[in-house]
Homo-oligomer: A and B are copies of this chain.
Amino acid sequence: MAHDVISPLLLALAIVLAAAAAGGWLAERVRQPSVLGELIAGIVIGNLGMLGIQSEFLERMKTNSELDALAQIGVIVLLFDVGLESSIAGMLKVGRSAFLVAVLGVVTPFALGWAAGAWLLPDRPAYVHLFLGAVLTATSVGITARVLRDLGRTDSIEARIILGAAVFDDVLGLVILAVVTGLIAAANQGGGVSLLGVAWIAGKALLFLVLAIALGSLLVPRVLRPLSRWRYPGTLLTSGLVLCFALSYAAAAAGLAPIVGAFAAGLILEPAFFEAFEETRRGQTLRSLIHPISMILVPVFFVRTGMIVDLRSFANPGILALAATLIVVAWVGKQACMLGVLERGVNRLAVGIGMVPRGEVGLIFANVGATLTLGGERVVTPALYAAVVLMVMVTTLVTPPALKWSFERRPRRPSSA
């Protein structure tokens, strides 16, 4: 009786969940965010080969697509949960700051990345420098959202600015990526960039955001009211997750990261919509029902993120030097975000640090570059790709302790309570 899909996944899950708990617990013991422990547990599992522990199973685990799917559902559930704790009204209040933060967090790393490329790789075409700038604009808010949740700061003004900025950042990054890949394609064919094509990409993404939030706030309560009369067990949780998965899918279809859709779904849903549900009368909320699901799936995402880190890339001095520059640029570039905060008394340092991690969005950008060629040569060479991956890793690993520190060095303000 062969169960070929499920057997490796079951063993992988047992290993990942045990490692996540052990890593998270150890991290908390040394007063670090538990997510850092999960990432390091993943790095250990993924690099046991360096300690001479060779295992074909562990190697295959890194590319197991079912484990990857569970991990991605994990980060979607995390952003949905964070969105549930936020409200549209609260986000709109900081809308201007969030937009400014996003613009500064895209423009500065783009310019610095371009300049760094021109300085470090003077022999490569200008398009390569351009692409390096584009890669550095990415922001992945998963790790920041997790740290904010662990610190109990999901509803602080800093969190709202970072999360709102991350949504704008995703749209802007998408446009920049489209323009740069369009420029490279046009350079190959000797033509110009299709402005209409770029406008369509940006338009789709903005259309999704407007439709999701405006139409969602209008329609969702109307759909939930009859559903609450079903009195069918599980309807509260099921309808919440159906909206979450449907909007995540729609975001991906619009070219955005699925987590943007999950966050939007959480924003739309307000506790008031669920008052007529049986579960509510029993004292259950959508968040309390999602909690056990996220307890299991969220760590899978972070352990897996650590798992695919290849420590051997640290061994090449050339790549390491390039990566070091990218890391500095990536860090400094996002600190410009601090200037975008208009409100007084906000922990600007936390905002700047919260925008730093590039995560899977940075990797997606790098992978797009790896498929592009310019005059027959790859735009992102293997060495450059390794340096970008290293930059993504370090920005992701450094954020949890840095963000925790940025909040702890200042006492909690009454406004963020």
Q: Which of B20, B68, B242, B368 contacts A5 (CB 8 A)?
A: B68
Which residues 1-37 of A have a CB within 8 angstroms of B?
A: 1-3, 5-7, 9-11, 13-14, 17-18, 20-21, 24-25, 28, 34
A72 interface residue (CB < 8 Å to B): yes
Question: Smallest CB–CB gap between A65 and chain B, Å?
Answer: 5
134-150 of chain A: CB within 8 A of chain B: none
Report yes or no: A245 in contact with B293, Cβ–Cβ below 8 A.
no
Q: From B10, B230, B256, B293, give the contact of A248 (CB < 8 A).
A: B10
Q: How many copies of this kind of chain does the complex include?
A: 2
Q: How far is the CB of A240 from chain B (nearest CB, A)?
A: 10
**Secondary structure of the A contact surface, majority rule:** helix
Q: A76 and B10 in contact (CB under 8 A), knowing A3-B258, A289-B292?
A: yes
Q: Which of A349-407 contact B (CB under 8 A)?
A: 361, 364-365, 368
CA distance A25 to B233 in the complex (A): 9
Is there an interface contact between A257 and B3, defined as CB atoms closer than 8 Å? yes
The answer to whether B17 touches A241, judged by C-beta atoms less than 8 angstroms apart, is yes
A235 within 8 A of partner (CB): yes
Q: Does A275 contact B (CB under 8 A)?
A: no
Which residues in B have their C-beta under 8 angstroms from that of A235?
21, 25
Inside 8 A of A233's CB, which chain B residues have their CB? 295
Contact with B along A237-277 (1 / 0, CB 8 A): 11101100110110011011110000000000000000000
Inter-chain contact B10/A258, CB cutoff 8 Å: yes
A290 at the interface (CB under 8 A from B): yes
- Give, as a whole number of angstroms, the nearest-CB distance from A12 to chain B: 9
User: Which of these, B14, B69, B230, contacts A242 with CB under 8 Å?
Assistant: B14
